[in-house]
Amino acid sequence: MSSTISDVAKLAGVSSATVSRVINKPDIVSEETKKVVHSAMEQLNYYPNVLGRNLRQSRSGFIMVLVPHINNPFYIKVIEGIQEISQQKNYNVMLCQNYIDPAISAQYIQHLQQRTVDGLILLDNTIDNSLLGDIDYTKYPVVQCSQYAKNTPVPYVTVDDTQAMRSLVRYLLSTGRRRIALINGDKRFIYAKNRFTGYKQTLDEMGIAIDKDLIKYVSSLDCQSAMIAATSLLDMENPPDAIIGVSDVLALSAMKVAFKKGMKVPQDISIASFDNTNMTVLAEPSITSISQPRYNMGKEACNMLFERMDNPNAKVRQIKLQAEMIIRDSTLL
C-alpha cells in the first residue's frame, strides 16, 4: 500500500509532526531536517492522504456549485470563474445539476450537512427560491449567483437585467422599430420579471402602448417551445418588427421561423437576445445580444463564498454587475 506520514517520519528519523510541518509550514523547519524529510518522502513516493487531513481539519476541501443544467452555455463561463478562484484557494469544485428537480436539489443539499462540501454556490433558479428555504444559510456558507432572493440575508451576485433590457429596447426603438416582441421565461423567475420591467418601463417612457400579444412566455428555453412562440408571433395580422429572446436559443429559433416564412433579418425583422454565447456569432446573420459578465459573476460569487467560509460573520454583500450590449448584423438597419 502507499506510505503514511509515520513511514516517512521513521525513515527520516524525525517525528510525524515534523513531517507535517515540512508539508504545511515549511518556514518553521530547519533547512537540514527539511532536506532529510524531503528525501525520505521521495524514497517512499509519499503523498499526504487528504482523507486524514480532512477529518482532522474538519473540512472537505470541496465546494458545491448547483446549477440547473450545464447544457445552458450561460453557466459554463460562470463555472469557469468559480473554478479559477477555488483553485487559487486550493479548493475543489463539485458541480451538480438539479435538472430543475427540487428532489434532486434536496439530495445535494444534504452534502452540506454531511460535510461532503464546505460551501455552496447556488445558481439554481427554482421558482420563488423554494430551494433556499431548505438550506440553513445561517449555519452553512451559501452564496447565490445570478438568481437571488430579495429581503433575505444571503449574499449574492447578479446582473442588472432591468437596465440591460432597457438599453436593448431603447436601441431597437432608435433603429425605428415600434412593435417589439418579447419571448420571455417564466415570470416567476427573477430574471424574467426584471427583464419584463425594463421592457415595460422603456416603452412606457416612449409613450408606446404595450401590446400584450407581443409578449410570449416559454416554460423552458428550448427550440421547440421557442418556435411555437415565434410562429404565433409571426402569424399575427400585425406582426412584430423585432423579437427579443431572453436567451440565445430563443432568438435563434425565432430567426429560423422568420426564414421559413420568407422574411429577411434584419430587413423585415430585427432579432436580439440575451446571453451572447457563441451561437450569436455562428448564426447568419450574427445576432445582437446582451453580454453578461459571466466569468466575473462566477469569480465574485466564489470570492464571497470564501469570505463567508473564512468568517461566518462577514458582512453580507449583495452586488449587481452591469451587462453590455453587443450589436451585430441581426438588428443593423
Q: Which residues contact 283 (CB under 8 A, 6 or more apart)?
A: 252, 255, 330
Burial class (CB in 10 A: 0-12, 13-18, 19+), 70: middle
Query: Binding residue for DNA (CB under 7 A) from 10, 48, 228, 231?
Result: 48
- Strands 288-291, 119-122: pairing kind: unpaired
Q: Quote the least distance from Cβ 206 to a copy of itself, whole Å.
A: 32
Q: CA-CA distance, 8 to 44, in Å (whole number)?
A: 7
Q: Is 52 in the site for a copy of itself (CB under 8 A)?
A: yes
Q: Quote the least distance from Cβ 97 to a copy of itself, whole Å.
A: 7
CA distances from 191 to 125, 160, 232, 246 (A): 9, 9, 23, 9
Residue window 227-256: x/- pattern of binding to a copy of itself, with contact defined by CB under 8 A: ----------------------x--xx-xx
Written in H, E and C, the secondary structure of 281-302 is HHCCCCCEEEECCHHHHHHHHH
Q: Is 93 in the site for a copy of itself (CB under 8 A)?
A: yes
Nearer to a copy of itself, 173 or 228 (CB): 228
Query: Of residues 113-142, which lie at the interface with a copy of itself (CB under 8 A)?
Result: 113-116
Residue window 56-75: x/- pattern of binding to DNA, with contact defined by CB under 7 A: xxx-----------------
In angstroms, how far is CA 41 from the centroid of its own chain? Answer: 41
Give the interface with a copy of itself as residue ranges (CB under 8 A).
Answer: 2, 47-52, 54-55, 58, 60-62, 70-71, 73, 76, 79-80, 83, 92-95, 97, 110-111, 113-116, 223, 249, 252-253, 255-256, 259, 278-279, 281-284
